[in-house]
Amino acid sequence: MRSFPRTLSRRAPAAGSARRRHVAAALVVALLTAGLTSAIAAPDARADDLKDKKSQVDKQVKAAHSDVEESSARATRTAKALEAAQARLQTARGNLASARAALTVAKVRDQEMQRKLDEAVARLERARADLARGEQDVVDQRDDVQSMIVDFYTGGDPRLNALSGILRSQTPSELVATLEAQDVMVSTQDDEYDQLRATEVLLAVRAQEVRDAKQETAERRREAAAQLKETQAAEEKAQQAEQAVEQSVADSRAARSSALAARRADLAKLRQLEREQQRIEELLARRAAAAKNPSGPTGGYLSYPTSGPVTSPFGYRIHPIYHYWGLHDGVDLAPGCGAPMRAAAPGKVISSYWSSVYGNRLVIDHGLVHGVGLATIYNHATSYTVSVGQQVQRGQVIGYVGSTGWSTGCHLHFTVMVNGKAVDPMNWL
């Protein structure tokens, strides 16, 4: 199984770095092609020539494959950034919806508080006007009473005036008229005094209404001020939530664009690695074509390169990273991290390099075996103990099991090449 590298701190390669990788890839093709051609054209000098060429190619391959690793890591980073931005976007949208709802409620309450304040102010104004009119009425009533008192007492004692009027009456009818007049005068005086007292009482009531209206107005003003502050806070929160949504959308779009670009670059590098593998297969196929005694493979010729169970067999499967249907060109053996890897048969190391897909990779050429060109490839090691051009023996420790490249855990991806084509290793083990 393979997975993206977990490092997230490396920066995306610049355009200049991309051009350098293309130049390096072209150089890899040229050097490897030259190596293959010379190895086929001069079989006797094959080892030395291939060793010299591969030493040059290895340096360029390491640089090119490190770029592939970087693009894979970048794809992982941008994918995680996209997920994080989408999560922030959902949160920000929820906050924005809540803030807008709170703002709507605050505005409605603010309008209600303003309406109540306006009503309280109107009642206060009416109470003040009523109080002013009442005060004027009291003044007028008091003036009338004072005038009446002055008239009474400047004209003499009212009781004596009344008695004098009675004595001056000549007839009973005049006496009755005089008495009635006195009654009217007395009644008028009583009415004036009653009206004055009623006006003073009403004035006290209106003064209390003014005090109540003032208190209510003050309370409404405080409520309106508090509601205004709450409304302003809700508006600010809504604005912040909206800005967060906009920023989250921008982050999401940038992350998505970056992830797609990284994926395209990674796929391009993967195809380049596949072409390189094809060139190795062609080398082995051409060597096998020179054989004069073809015959079928013999099971059991290769020793197991390490212990541990088979966790993924040879055959077609869904690609664990890009999810396309493709060939898994080897078997995965999982003995545990750091377990020794051993040469499956005698041969010569013809290639050793870093691959972002396979991690540390080693190719051993076993030459002609039962009439076919046989080679084995060891992948994902933590490190190798042999180098290009070195002869190895069956069972010799050549490296240690690791989880480099696209891997979900420590294992050996073991590939067997027959005449340049990947075959099921189980037929040779």
Spatial distance between the Cα atoms of 77 and 127, rounded to a whole number of angstroms: 72
Between 191 and 61, the higher pLDDT residue: 191
Please enumerate, as own/partner, the contacts of 165-169 that have beta carbons within 8 Å and a separation of 24 or more.
none
Predicted confidence (pLDDT) per residue in 73-95, tens digit? 666 777 777 777 777 777 877 87
Confidence (pTM): 0.39
Spatial distance between the Cα atoms of 37 and 169, rounded to a whole number of angstroms: 164
Enumerate residues 6+ apart whose C-beta is below 8 A from 96.
238, 241, 242, 244, 245
Buried b (16+ CB within 10 A) or exposed e, 395-414: eeebbbbbbbbbbeebbbbb
Which two three-digit tokens encode residue 220? 């409404």
Sign of CA dihedral 70, 75, 81, 85: positive
Most confident of 112-126, 138-152, 240-254: 112-126
Enumerate residues 6+ apart whose C-beta is below 8 A from 249.
89
Predicted confidence (pLDDT) per residue in 252-268, tens digit? 777 767 777 776 777 77
Spatial distance between the Cα atoms of 325 and 322, rounded to a whole number of angstroms: 9
pLDDT band at 299 (very low <50, low <70, confident <90, very high): low
In this structure, what DSSP letter does residue 389 have? T
Between 273 and 133, the higher pLDDT residue: 133
pLDDT at residue 336 above 80?
yes
Spatial distance between the Cα atoms of 173 and 164, rounded to a whole number of angstroms: 16
pLDDT band at 246 (very low <50, low <70, confident <90, very high): confident
**Do the Cβ atoms of 280 and 363 come closer than 8 Å?**
yes
The whole-number pLDDT of residue 44 equals: 42
Helices (H), 297-347: none
Residues β-bridged to residue 407: none
Lowest mean pLDDT among 52-56, 61-65, 140-144: 52-56
CB atoms within 10 A of CB 167: 9
**Alpha-carbon separation of residue 312 from 194, 200, 399, 411 (angstroms):** 114, 107, 21, 10
Query: What secondary structure, in 3-state letters, does 4-63 show?
Result: CCCCCCCCCCCHHHHHHHHHHHHHHHHHHHHHHHHHHHCCCCHHHHHHHHHHHHHHHHHH
Most confident of 55-64, 320-329, 377-386: 377-386
| CA neighbor of 65 nearest in space, from 272, 319, 264, 261 | 272
Residues β-bridged to residue 340: 400
pLDDT at residue 309 above 80?
yes
What does the DSSP assignment read for 413-426? EEEEEETTEEE-GG
CB atoms within 10 A of CB 259: 20
Type of residue at 346: P
At the top level of CATH, the class of 291-429 is mainly beta
**Do the Cβ atoms of 352 and 388 come closer than 8 Å?**
yes
pLDDT band at 178 (very low <50, low <70, confident <90, very high): low
Average pLDDT in the 360-384 region?
Answer: 96
The whole-number pLDDT of residue 417 equals: 95
| CA neighbor of 428 nearest in space, from 380, 370, 342 | 370
pLDDT at residue 153 above 60?
no
pLDDT at residue 24 above 50?
no
The whole-number pLDDT of residue 60 equals: 65
Average pLDDT in the 61-80 region?
Answer: 66
